[in-house]
Structure 1
Amino acid sequence: MINFSKYKVILWDFDGVLMDSMPVRDRGFEIVLSSYPQHEVEKLLIYHRQNGGLSRYVKFKYFFEQIRNETITSAQVDSLASEFSEVMRRELVNRALLIEESVAYVKENHKKFKMHVVSGSDQTELRYLCDALGLKDYFESIHGSPTPKKELVNSVLNIYKYTPEEIVFIGDSMNDYDAASLHGIDFYGYNNVSLENIGVGYIQAFDSVYNL
């Protein structure tokens, strides 16, 4: 059993923790980059899957600069990210994609903790999805890219005057762990067995999490 009684605040990643969205996001990159060679797009998808917590802005930049050896402007990245977001708005407004046990935990415990979403997903898109899926009111705030996750965590700490000791971060990527550990915040991995020995613990299932 995992005891959360010492915490007052939970920071949630979104993709892979509250929503099983990775296959849809794979398709998003394939659609937006459909005019480019498939073998190059496949290399991006490998990078995307290995770096789930990074924003699409970073991934599009990686595609052009590291895979295609081309320069790309910030305006071009923004345009691709906007096109990607339109695809996500269509595809992700689907309650069947929500991860039932973690969303149930949020709904059952949102009055016991202050909860925030801190995600690598685009912030405008993320807020739209949370509103459309009926999740918005369970969270004190919802934060996303293009601001890096480490900076988002810092902003939540500063805006809400939290201390690291009262916070737990639940995520499914090393990027989540890095953002938590940089600020001295306890990290629990979820939905990614490679994180089982990272942070202070690993959530196999939310029925093992309790608070007094």
Structure 2
Amino acid sequence: MMKTILWDFDGVILDSMPVRDWGFKEIFKDFKPKQVNALLNFHKANGGLSRYVKIRYFYEHILNESISEARVLDYAEAFSVLMKKELTNPENLILDSISFIKDNFRNYNFHIVSGSDQEELRFLCKALSIEHYFISIHGSPTPKKQLVKDLLDQYNYNKEKTCLIGDSINDFEASEVNGISFYGYNNEELKNLDRGYIKRFDGFDNF
């Protein structure tokens, strides 16, 4: 019986991936489309990684150039400005998971652990009026694996009664390295990993 649920954000609570795709295209609009498309492929395959990692990847592995930390932060800030403007529409909330969260936040310990920028994440949760459903909300630049470890340590949660729900292989890896269960959601490629796959929360009672 699970007591603590750690939630990924993008693709699990908020249908934000198309907007984030657009955001990367926008901040890198001065580069060749082929190069930007290579980044988007990496972005889609690694949804749980932070934008800081993806920006460095774009420069170091696609452009084969070095990039300063200050330049990474500049790009990340430009990306965040776009996200704060575009992602506050409540129509982007995934109703299936949000309904479960609203109905059950008193029955579990809910936390958000996301690859999204932490300050932006908290801004969006407040703007979308969902922050009060979660004990805490955490994001990048701290890697998700570390966020999960820090939460387990801070709250002394029982690992056998804690799970992470996510839509990417990075979410699974963050749960596995910390010894907690994982449930895939909104990505059928995750169907055969760990505890199982949540097709819909409506009627799901395996916790």
Q: Do both proteins adopt the same fold according to a TM-score greater than 0.5, normalized to the shorter chain?
A: yes
Determine the structure 2 residue equivalent to 1:103: 98
Match of 1:172 among 157, 167, 174: 167
Tell me if 1:192 matches 2:187: yes
Q: Deviations over 1:80-115 (max 9, x none)?
A: 001100000000001111100100100000000010
Match of 2:35 among 40, 43, 64: 40
Tell me if 1:71 matches 2:66: yes
* Cα distance in structure 1, aligned partners of 2:172 and 2:31: 33
What SS class does the counterpart of residue 208 from structure 1 fall into? coil
Which letter maps to 1:204? Answer: K
What SS class does the counterpart of residue 202 from structure 2 fall into? helix
* Cα distance in structure 2, aligned partners of 1:79 and 1:160: 34
Alignment of 1:117-128 (within 5 A): 117-128=112-123
Tell me if 1:50 matches 2:45: yes
What SS class does the counterpart of residue 2 from structure 2 fall into? coil
**Displacement after TM superposition at 1:51 (Å):** 0.7
Cα distance change, pair 198–211 in 1 and its aligned pair in 2 (3 A): closer
Which letter maps to 1:61? Answer: R
What SS class does the counterpart of residue 108 from structure 1 fall into? helix
* Cα distance in structure 2, aligned partners of 1:210 and 1:133: 27
Match of 2:21 among 17, 26, 32: 26
Determine the structure 1 residue equivalent to 2:197: 202
What SS class does the counterpart of residue 117 from structure 1 fall into? strand
**Displacement after TM superposition at 1:211 (Å):** 7.1
Unaligned runs of 5+ in 2: none
Match of 2:55 among 57, 60, 77: 60
**CA RMSD in angstroms, aligned pairs only:** 1.0
Match of 1:134 among 129, 136, 141: 129
Unaligned runs of 5+ in 1: 1-5
Identity, in percent, stands at 52
Which letter maps to 2:121? Answer: L
What SS class does the counterpart of residue 83 from structure 1 fall into? helix
**Displacement after TM superposition at 1:148 (Å):** 0.4
Provide TM-score, normalisation by structure 2: 0.98
Tell me if 1:89 matches 2:84: yes
* Cα distance in structure 2, aligned partners of 1:132 and 1:160: 27
* Cα distance in structure 1, aligned partners of 2:6 and 2:170: 14
Provide TM-score, normalisation by structure 1: 0.96
